[in-house]
Structure 1
Amino acid sequence: MHMLQDITKLIQLQERDQRIRALQKDLKDIPTMQTRAKMQLAGDQAAVEAANLAMKEVEVKIKNIQLDVQTRQTSIKRLQDQQFETRKNDEFAALGHEIKRYEADVTKLEDGELEQMEALETAKAKLKEAQAKLAATQVRVNEELKNLDERGVGVKKRLEDLTVERTTLAEPIDPDALDLYTRIFIKKGDAAIVPMENAMCGGCHMKVVVGVIQSLKQSEGLTQCEACGRILYLVE
């Protein structure tokens, strides 16, 4: 009877161990999932940076045009002063030519500035769009991270409870039986104790030899599958 009690307790223990193992895997996966969630932001952040850079480039072009206009206007003012001071007609005319050349430059530059102003509006709109997309992704990622944090807390709590249950279940089991079960469970990674049905091992699905079947029916000790080493129990 004692052996049957051990078998029943081992099956219950294994059920806890399998859940503990699954939860530990869950817990281990959470940081990876958090990293993956944060990575969703990378593309949108890069888009914002690129849009910001494009806008800055247009702003620099506008500033340069404005500086060029200023320089030419200073030159025009200087030439007009010279014109005002000269008494010679040919010099007056030559200065007038220079002034016209500079004024034509200013007109051309100002046309260019208008074009760049339009480009700046487009660049600003693109930046705004990229920022809105990033903000939306950030909200989604924050929600995901919050859920993962909560999940982590829940999993840890469940693990603590299961570990306590496991200790209670393991206590009355024969130490040798427990030791054998633990070694097999660690090695196999899925189950250490499996049913034998239709003369087949529930772990490796190999046919079980007659001697093993007899030993199982007598149930005097733990019976192991000769092929995979897992502990077998009889399903009536």
Structure 2
Amino acid sequence: MEIDFEKLIRLQGLDIDIHQAQVLLDGIPLQQAAIDQKIAAGSQAVTAAKDKLAANQKKRRELESEVKDVRARITQHKSQQAQVKNNKEYSALLKEIEDDQRRIDGLEESIIQEMLQADDIEVEIRAALDLQSKDKTVLEADKAALAKSAGEAESRIQDLGRQREMLLAQVDAEQLTLYQRIFKKKGGVALSAIRDDFCALCHMRIRPQMLNELLEKNKLITCENCGRILYITLDTEAPGREEAEAAKS
């Protein structure tokens, strides 16, 4: 039986195209997950800035509450001054009032610092929100593009699969069995063209006797070095090392 190399070459081309489309499709979920992580990171930056502002406001309320308590204590001490019976007690109350006033001065300075810090944090929040909005727009567009690519890859795989099934019915069963075995064993490339008497993939010189047998096209002959099915072609773009590398990727 004469070997129909054209069908085998077409089959290999389909298998390589299917593999490449599947690799593309398989990689999309990881890319989508990476985008989701970036979107989440933007949200986390906003949340962190808002949490910082909440902590600042809490600290400010605590300081203001303490100022209120100290003022109440000063008022109490001043009312007690009118009731003291000697200078020692009066001086003691006066010292407590002075200490409390210094405490208030320190607390009010801290409150001012918290207010200034709050202004900076609010700027940080606005910047984080702005960046989040811009990044999310770009990232969502990237996700949409990936979803489109996934749909296209799935459609391509289905279309190529249908072509492959139709072609399989036209290939001799024995030849197909050998092809499939080598295809699985050799990283997705079962055929290799002969170029200038060399195997295009492993560059092994082909013996003249094998070349003559190949010209007869009555049996499949494999390369003595790489084990792939050899065929003769005048097509300079016949499957070669580039296809092998693509199939492995």
Scaled by the length of structure 1, the TM-score of the pair is 0.88
Distance (whole Å) between structure 2 residues aligned to residue 223 and residue 97 of structure 1: 108
Distance (whole Å) between structure 1 residues aligned to residue 84 and residue 18 of structure 2: 103
SS at match of 1:208: coil
What is the deviation of 1:82? 2.5
1:63-82 map, 5 Å:
63-82=61-80
1:110-149 map, 5 Å:
110-149=108-147
Query: Is 2:195 aligned against 1:185?
Result: no
Identical positions, percent: 28
Match of 1:172 among 167, 170, 173: 170
What is the deviation of 1:194? 2.1
CA contact (8 A) 1:58 1:120 kept: yes
What is the deviation of 1:45? 4.3
Match of 1:60 among 45, 58, 61: 58
SS at match of 2:231: strand
Distance (whole Å) between structure 2 residues aligned to residue 105 and residue 228 of structure 1: 87
Question: Which amino acid is the alignment partner of residue 144 of structure 1?
Answer: D
SS at match of 2:2: helix
Distance (whole Å) between structure 1 residues aligned to residue 189 and residue 102 of structure 2: 89
Distance (whole Å) between structure 2 residues aligned to residue 225 and residue 209 of structure 1: 10
Aligned pair count reads 233
Gaps of 5+ in 1: none
Distance (whole Å) between structure 1 residues aligned to residue 43 and residue 2 of structure 2: 63
Give the RMSD, CA atoms, in angstroms.
Answer: 2.2
Q: Which residue of 1 aligns with 2:161?
A: 163
Q: Which residue of 1 aligns with 2:245?
A: none
CA contact (8 A) 1:13 1:169 kept: yes
Gaps of 5+ in 2: 235-249
Distance (whole Å) between structure 2 residues aligned to residue 93 and residue 213 of structure 1: 119
Question: Which runs of 4 or more aligned residues in structure 1 lie more than 4 Å from their structure 2 counterparts after TM superposition?
Answer: 91-94
Deviates more, 1:138-147 or 1:167-176: 138-147
Match of 2:6 among 8, 24, 40: 8
Distance (whole Å) between structure 2 residues aligned to residue 65 and residue 159 of structure 1: 67
Scaled by the length of structure 2, the TM-score of the pair is 0.84
More helix by share: 1
Q: Which residue of 2 aligns with 1:98?
A: 96
Match of 2:223 among 219, 222, 225: 225
What is the deviation of 1:23? 0.5
